[in-house]
Amino acid sequence: MMAKEDSATWFKMFLRNKAVFDAVPDEAAGQAIKAALTYAETGEAPPLEPLANVVFCAVRPSIDDALREFEVIRERNRENGRKGGRPKKPKTTDWDIEKPKKPSCFFKNPENQKIEDRGQKIEDRRKKIEDRIESITGVIGGETETADKPPARRINLPRFVKPTIDEVDAYFAQQGNVQQSQRFFDYYEANGWKVGKNSMRDWKAAARNWLRNQSQYDKAARAAAAPEIQDNQISRVIQMIEENKI
């Protein structure tokens, strides 16, 4: 038999069991409740009549759950007891409390304290700026040290070779405008084969640009000459009319 002090002190009654209680006479329901309390206390089920036993069997699973939960709690408490229980908190005194770094009240004039705090903030901000500048520019001891930088990547461009007049004639012939080859050659031969102030890199690219500009110049010249040609044609027609040739 389970000792009284080792028994569970509670168990759950669920509303889903109400239908079972309502289906039996009050006497059988009362016997079942008493049997449930005895079972929870002693762990043994007393003999019951059939109707009372039906009600008790409906309640018994919740009692068993309570007994198992109680057993787990009891075993945990025993284990803690063997370990000496929860360690006690150390007692502290006023002498053990660490003094705050800054007082919580003013020992000086509040206005003077504000000025000192503002000055400290400015000094801290200045120090941060100096540290930032030093980390970027490498200023150490007032001397500027250039940070190590990887060497600049050199691009090896092909060396320019001045073309001959025959090469220029052949290339302009490929472009369909051999008439401009001599003018192109003479122009760049005179200025030392430069494009603006820089030395030429690719004479074929300069030749294509020359032809594009020349085509624009030709269109502009034709557009400018068109009115003069038209005026000449009109003058000839008027002259022929006056001479009675029309």
pLDDT, tens only, 112-161: 677 778 888 888 988 888 888 777 765 445 554 455 666 666 666 678 89
Structure confidence by residue, pLDDT tens digits, 156-203: 667 889 999 999 999 999 999 888 999 999 999 999 999 888 999 999
Q: Which residues, other chains included, contact 42 with Cβ-Cβ below 8 Å and sequence gap of 6+?
A: 1, 2, 4, 7
Say whether pLDDT at 52 is over 90.
Answer: no
pLDDT of residue 46: 87
Exposed (0-12), middle (13-18) or buried (19+): which is 129, by Cβ within 10 Å?
exposed
Q: Which residues, other chains included, contact 116 with Cβ-Cβ below 8 Å and sequence gap of 6+?
A: 108
| 3-state helix vs strand vs coil in the chain, percent to 5 | 60, 5, 35
Residue 132 included in any domain: no
pLDDT of residue 200: 93
Say whether pLDDT at 75 is over 70.
Answer: yes
Closest residue by Cα to residue 55 from 19, 15, 21:
21
Angle, CA of 67, 52 and 68, to the nearest 5°: 5
Report whether 10 contacts 36 (CB < 8 A). Answer: no
At 207, the pLDDT band (50, 70, 90 cuts) reads very high
pLDDT of residue 171: 95
235 vs 224, which has greater pLDDT? Answer: 235
Domain that residue 28 falls in: 4-82
Residue 90 included in any domain: no
Say whether pLDDT at 104 is over 60.
Answer: no
pLDDT of residue 170: 94
100 vs 37, which has greater pLDDT? Answer: 37
Cα–Cα distance between 50 and 64 in angstroms, integer?
Answer: 21
pLDDT of residue 80: 82
Closest residue by Cα to residue 52 from 73, 69, 27:
27
Q: Which residues pair with 195 in a beta bridge?
A: 198
- The total domain count for the chain is 2
Structure confidence by residue, pLDDT tens digits, 6-25: 667 888 888 888 888 898 89
Average pLDDT over residues 65-74: 86
Residue 223 included in any domain: yes
pLDDT of residue 206: 92
Residue 122 included in any domain: no
> How would DSSP label each residue in 76-90?
HHHHHHHTTSSPPPP
What's the whole-number average pLDDT of the chain? 78
Residue 96 included in any domain: no
pLDDT of residue 34: 92
Domain ends where: 27, 48, 82?
A: 82
Q: Within 10 A of 221 (CB to CB), how many other CB atoms are there?
A: 10
Q: Within 10 A of 55 (CB to CB), how many other CB atoms are there?
A: 23
Domain ends where: 35, 51, 82?
A: 82
Torsion of CA 113, 119, 122, 128, to 10 degrees: -90
At 71, the pLDDT band (50, 70, 90 cuts) reads confident
Say whether pLDDT at 94 is over 60.
Answer: no
Say whether pLDDT at 27 is over 60.
Answer: yes
Residue 117 included in any domain: no
Cα–Cα distance between 63 and 236 in angstroms, integer?
Answer: 132
Domain ends where: 56, 82, 108?
A: 82
Instruction: Kindly state the tokens that stand for 5.
Output: 């002090």
Residue 193 included in any domain: yes
Which residue is it, tokens 């006023």? 94
pLDDT of residue 3: 45
- Supply the DSSP symbol for 15: G
Query: Whole-structure pTM over 0.85, yes or no?
Result: no
Residue 124 included in any domain: no
Say whether pLDDT at 4 is over 50.
Answer: no
pLDDT of residue 126: 85
